Amino acid sequence: MRKGLAIGAVVLIVALGSWLYLFRVTEDQVVAHRMLDFDKIEPNTEMVWTEQDDMKTFEYAVRFANKNPGIVDIAAPPYSFKLGGDTYWLYASPEYNVMQFINSKASGTLYTVRKSSADRIRKLLEEADKIGYGVPTPGSMAYPGHELSEPETK
């Protein structure tokens, strides 16, 4: 009986430790930009998140994304974000309700973000745009295929 309880306690402790390790947040900020090309950041579009829930959203999106098979050849991303020492190219498509990313160090592999994480990231990007972070300049690409026009003056 004691041996069974001891084994059960050890299993519980290992499971709890694994769970805490899997769901940890290791970074203190996430920095995102709108992109003009793979290596060209759109000026004045930096977005920074330092709240733990926001960082957790990006970390979980990367950690629990589904790897797509094959090697991709894809257009330049509308966004990039830096999480820790890695930069990711983020494809957030409002038309298809899908979010995908590529780690810039392994540019042939595409990952699909789970819907719950994609919805939260999309909301964070929209909120950043409302307060003036990440607002594209006129003439730049807000999303692929959606050209912004110059503001009207009266």
User: Biggest alpha carbon distance in the chain?
Assistant: 84
High-pLDDT (> 90) share of the chain, %: 42
Listed residue (79, 67, 77, 73) closest to 125, CA to CA: 79
Distance CA 128, CA 116 (A): 19
CA dihedral for 14, 114, 40, 76, sign (positive or negative): positive
- SS3 at position 23: coil
| CA–CA dist 34, 32 (Å, integer) | 7
Look at 4-13, 58-67, 143-152 and tell me which has the smallest mean pLDDT.
Answer: 143-152
Q: Domains in the chain, please, with CATH?
A: 28-139 (2.60.40)
> How many angstroms separate the first and last alpha carbons of the chain?
84
- Is there a contact between 143 and 94 (Cβ–Cβ < 8 Å)? yes
Q: Is residue 17 within 8 Å of residue 23, measured between CB atoms?
A: no
**Residue 144 pLDDT class (50, 70, 90 cuts):** very low
Tell me: the pLDDT tens digits for 60-104? 999 999 999 888 888 899 999 999 889 999 998 767 678 999 999
CA angle 25/105/57 to nearest 5° reads 25
Question: Where do runs of H (alpha helix) occur along the chain?
Answer: 2-22, 52-63, 115-130
What pLDDT is attached to residue 136?
47
Reported as a single tens digit per residue, the pLDDT across 108-142 is 899 999 999 999 999 999 888 776 555 444 443 34
Q: Does pTM surpass 0.75?
A: no
Q: Is pLDDT at 152 greater than 70 in this prediction?
A: no
With contact defined as beta carbons under 8 Å apart, do 117 and 111 qualify? no
Minimum mean pLDDT among 9-13, 16-20, 36-40, 61-65: which range?
Answer: 16-20
